[in-house]
């Protein structure tokens, strides 16, 4: 029986839209006649008093002619049965009420009716029409969704959803209810319960699902067999989400979440786009609202240039710069695909939001100083955000020359071009790895900072490799230093998720290794604001919160995937954590400050650091020697020169540059 009903359901769903509407109209006409006949029967108590083919034929003829136009006009036949909701129900109430009113007026005007029509019959007709027409649509909605009698009963009776993963929804609000409806339609997961913090909802039933409190999750698991929890709490603060995630860790449940309201509103995602837990929720820190004046000071109605515009930080800088409405945004990037991707995204956004900003995607390398100068002079650039850099520590450690040429010489080229072109503001995106570095990447980023510090103290510097030619310097140089950003290229979090999905092991370099983390949007926003505050040569440090132990982070991700950690205490656990040892150049702990002398700024999450610096002439001499050592592939000398320039640089281990190692093999 139920199998036949399922076949019929599939056949009806596949019908053309026109045929579906004709069927609805035919059914509604039959229901109008039935409601009218029942109205007579209920009022008079005898079926013989109603004469649909006799004295009341005129009434039975006019009833659908009055009703159907109202049904059409109010959109009853535009509503999709599977998505039938409150709005469609209100349309039925309005349509039925208007049709009943029109019918009563017709009865009143037709004074020569052959048979008597009781006045109360119209009222009976009204509520019977509501019951039949509205009720049938509600029943059909459940039928087309596969939910007969109650939202959960069909699966209990037939087992057609027995193979679907049972999930509980944390949050019985609007987002939770929308998610339940989406899951029932999609048939990917089977919702079995709600969990909510509101005590007024405990032990209540919403959408056919029982609501449990957070204290009774264990009981919920026993009662329903849930294997996964979906967080449908998009408006909750990160601090509260962290508390919830920490509480859920003790249960063998895979925890995932639905997107936030901003993503839903922008159309980026749908309510049923399930995603892994946002690692930012584990950090539990809510972003501080930006100071609008600081965001716009160096951007609004100006020509802005972003180097490394296709990278993780550079692309987010472009997104946020667009919001402040610059006159022109120059996106400077050496990777063609990355440049194409961010350009396409921002073009669509400009069209969607009707922005007046002109986008200019430029392919080029920061190693080409002439190209940089040509671009800056052609567009008369006002502000530069320099995000182009090699940042992967082990990769740069294995490719020393490229790290020096890109991070040091690339920054030097960009800064000198800015001075020559008369750029007003120059902001360097730096890193916490520049503080007492143990690797080439960190030391080269510190040298980049030193270049800007030295230039900022020169009113008319004689540029590097430009003998006796002085340039008036009106550029305000600032540097912004922060830690790891979540979701950036090479980030550890996506790798952990991939390893968990593959069944493990999860690899961590050292049990005590810690890192600072921040979301990409927050970092980019703070970079823009910090760049607006500098006086020249300032090093700004972002408040990164508390450092996070990577091993503990890996454990949390395993637990929130509904799995257990395999260890000596739990030899039968699901996923093992393996410690692979520190990679070349990697530190156990990262720092944000070289010294202890910091001062507050007008933004609560941005501090100003007073760091040591070198004179421009001294630094130029060191840079010349460094460049010569790189040209000669003399990597011991490169290390020595970096140690002389960068305070606290203590390289660990042997030189692991690929070219250097290969040449040593050839000499042996």
123 vs 513: CA distance, rounded Å: 76
Q: Looking at residue 52, what is its pLDDT?
A: 66
327 vs 340: CA distance, rounded Å: 20
Long-range contacts of 146-152 (CB under 8 A, 24+ apart): 146/6, 146/9, 146/184, 146/187, 147/184, 147/208, 150/208, 151/184, 151/207, 151/208, 151/209, 152/192, 152/208, 152/209
Of the candidates 234, 317, 311, 318, which has an alpha carbon nearest to the alpha carbon of residue 278? 234
Q: Please tell me the number of Cα atoms within 13 Å of 224 on its side-chain side.
A: 28
Which pLDDT tens digit goes with each residue over 2-56?
566 666 766 776 777 777 778 878 888 888 878 777 777 777 666 566 666 666 6
Of the candidates 171, 312, 165, which has an alpha carbon nearest to the alpha carbon of residue 253? 165
68 vs 91: CA distance, rounded Å: 13
204 vs 192: CA distance, rounded Å: 14
313 vs 320: CA distance, rounded Å: 11
166: three-class secondary structure by DSSP: strand
Q: In Å, how far are 422, 462, 539, 587, 603 from 542, measured between CA atoms?
A: 28, 32, 10, 20, 10
- Given a cut of 50, the residues of the chain with pLDDT beneath it are 148-160, 261-262, 264-267, 269, 271-272
How do beta strands 228-231 and 165-170 pair? Answer: parallel
618 vs 498: CA distance, rounded Å: 48
| CB of 486 closer than 8 Å to CB of 546 | no
Q: In Å, how far are 237, 320, 461, 462, 463 from 469, measured between CA atoms?
A: 56, 38, 8, 5, 7
Other C-beta atoms lying within 10 Å of the C-beta of residue 271: 19
Of the candidates 412, 340, 407, 343, which has an alpha carbon nearest to the alpha carbon of residue 372? 412
Q: Looking at residue 628, what is its pLDDT?
A: 94
Which residues, in sequence order, are CB contacts of 302 under 8 Å at separation 6+?
Answer: 326, 327, 382, 383
208 vs 152: CA distance, rounded Å: 7
> Left (φ > 0), alpha (ψ -120 to 50) or beta: where does 273 sit?
beta
How do beta strands 598-600 and 575-579 pair? Answer: unpaired
Q: Could you give the maximum distance between any two Cα atoms of the chain, in Å?
A: 119
Which pLDDT tens digit goes with each residue over 574-618?
889 999 888 787 777 776 555 566 777 888 888 888 888 899 999
Q: Please tell me the number of Cα atoms within 13 Å of 463 on its side-chain side.
A: 17
How do beta strands 506-508 and 538-542 pair? Answer: unpaired
Burial of 497 (0-12, 13-18, 19+ CB in 10 A): middle
Q: Looking at residue 85, what is its pLDDT?
A: 55
523 vs 511: CA distance, rounded Å: 27
Q: Looking at residue 642, what is its pLDDT?
A: 93
Q: Looking at residue 120, what is its pLDDT?
A: 66
Q: Please report which helix (H) or strand (E) contains residue 427, including its range.
A: strand 425-431
Q: Report helix angle 57-73 to 17-44, nearest 10.
A: 140
599 vs 482: CA distance, rounded Å: 16
Q: Looking at residue 69, what is its pLDDT?
A: 81
333 vs 308: CA distance, rounded Å: 5
Q: Looking at residue 143, what is its pLDDT?
A: 66
263 vs 273: CA distance, rounded Å: 11
DSSP designation for 226? -
478 vs 530: CA distance, rounded Å: 8
DSSP designation for 49? G
Q: In Å, how far are 238, 275, 429 from 604, measured between CA atoms?
A: 18, 32, 19
pTM listed for this prediction: 0.68
140 vs 70: CA distance, rounded Å: 21
Q: 87 — phi, psi (to 5°)?
A: -65, -45
């Amino acid at each position: 029986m139920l199998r036949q009903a399922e076949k019929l359901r599939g056949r009806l769903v596949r019908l053309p839209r026109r045929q579906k509407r004709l069927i609805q109209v035919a059914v509604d006409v039959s229901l109008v006649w039935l409601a009218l006949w029942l109205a007579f029967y209920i009022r008079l108590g005898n079926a013989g008093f109603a004469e649909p083919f006799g004295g009341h034929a005129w009434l039975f003829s006019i009833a659908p002619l009055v009703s159907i136009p109202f049904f059409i006009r109010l959109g009853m036949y535009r509503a999709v049965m599977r998505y039938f909701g409150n709005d469609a129900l209100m349309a039925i109430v309005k349509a039925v009420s208007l049709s009943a009113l029109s019918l009563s007026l017709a009865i009143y005007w037709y004074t020569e009716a052959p048979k008597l029509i009781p006045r109360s019959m119209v009222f009976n007709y009204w509520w019977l029409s509501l019951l039949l027409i509205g009720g049938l649509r509600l029943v059909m909605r459940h039928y087309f969704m596969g939910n007969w009698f109650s939202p959960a009963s069909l699966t209990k009776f037939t087992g057609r959803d027995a193979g679907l993963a049972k999930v509980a929804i944390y949050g019985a609000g609007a987002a939770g209810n929308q998610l339940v409806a989406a899951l029932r339609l999609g048939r990917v997961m089977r919702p079995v319960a709600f969990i909510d913090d509101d005590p007024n909802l405990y032990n209540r039933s919403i959408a056919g699902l029982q609501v449990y409190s957070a204290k009774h999750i264990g009981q919920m698991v026993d009662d329903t067999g849930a294997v996964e929890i979906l967080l449908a709490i998009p408006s909750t603060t990160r601090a509260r989400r962290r508390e919830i995630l920490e509480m859920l860790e003790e249960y063998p449940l895979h925890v995932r979440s639905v997107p936030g309201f901003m993503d839903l509103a922008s159309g980026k995602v749908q309510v049923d786009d399930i995603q892994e837990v946002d690692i930012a929720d584990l950090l539990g820190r809510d972003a501080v609202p930006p100071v609008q004046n600081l965001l716009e000071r160096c951007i609004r109605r100006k020509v802005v240039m972003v180097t490394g515009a296709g990278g993780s930080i550079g692309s987010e800088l472009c997104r946020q710069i667009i919001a402040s409405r610059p006159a022109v945004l120059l996106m400077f990037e050496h990777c063609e695909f990355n440049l194409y991707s961010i350009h396409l995204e921002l073009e669509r956004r400009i069209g969607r939001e009707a922005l007046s900003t002109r986008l200019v995607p430029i392919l080029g390398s920061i190693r080409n100083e002439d190209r940089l100068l040509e671009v800056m002079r052609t567009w008369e650039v006002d502000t530069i955000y320099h995000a182009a850099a090699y940042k992967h520590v082990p990769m740069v450690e294995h490719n020393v020359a490229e790290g020096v040429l890109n991070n040091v010489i690339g920054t030097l080229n960009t800064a000198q071009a800015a001075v020559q072109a008369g750029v007003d503001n120059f902001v360097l995106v730096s890193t916490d790895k520049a503080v007492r570095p143990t690797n080439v990447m960190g030391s080269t980023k510190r040298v980049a900072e030193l270049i800007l510090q030295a230039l900022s103290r020169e009113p008319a510097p004689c540029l590097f490799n430009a003998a006796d030619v002085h340039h008036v310097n009106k550029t305000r140089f600032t540097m912004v230093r922060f830690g790891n950003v979540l979701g950036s290229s090479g980030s550890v979090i996506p790798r952990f998720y991939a390893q968990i999905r593959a069944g493990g092991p999860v690899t961590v370099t050292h049990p005590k290794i810690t890192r600072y983390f921040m979301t990409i949007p927050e970092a980019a926003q703070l970079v823009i604001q910090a760049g607006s505050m500098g006086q020249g040569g300032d090093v700004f440090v972002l408040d990164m919160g508390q450092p996070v132990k990577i091993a503990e982070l890996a454990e949390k991700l395993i637990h929130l995937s509904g799995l257990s950690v395999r260890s000596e205490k739990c030899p039968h656990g699901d996923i093992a954590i393996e410690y692979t040892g520190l990679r070349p150049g990697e530190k156990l702990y990262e720092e944000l400050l070289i010294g202890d002398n910091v001062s507050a700024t007008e933004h609560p999450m941005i501090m100003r650091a007073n760091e040591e610096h070198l004179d421009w002439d001294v630094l130029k001499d060191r840079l010349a020697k460094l460049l010569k050592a790189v040209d000669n592939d003399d990597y011991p000398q490169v290390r020595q020169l970096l140690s002389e320039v960068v305070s606290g640089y203590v390289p660990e281990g042997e030189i692991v540059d690929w070219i250097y190692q290969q040449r040593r093999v050839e000499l042996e």
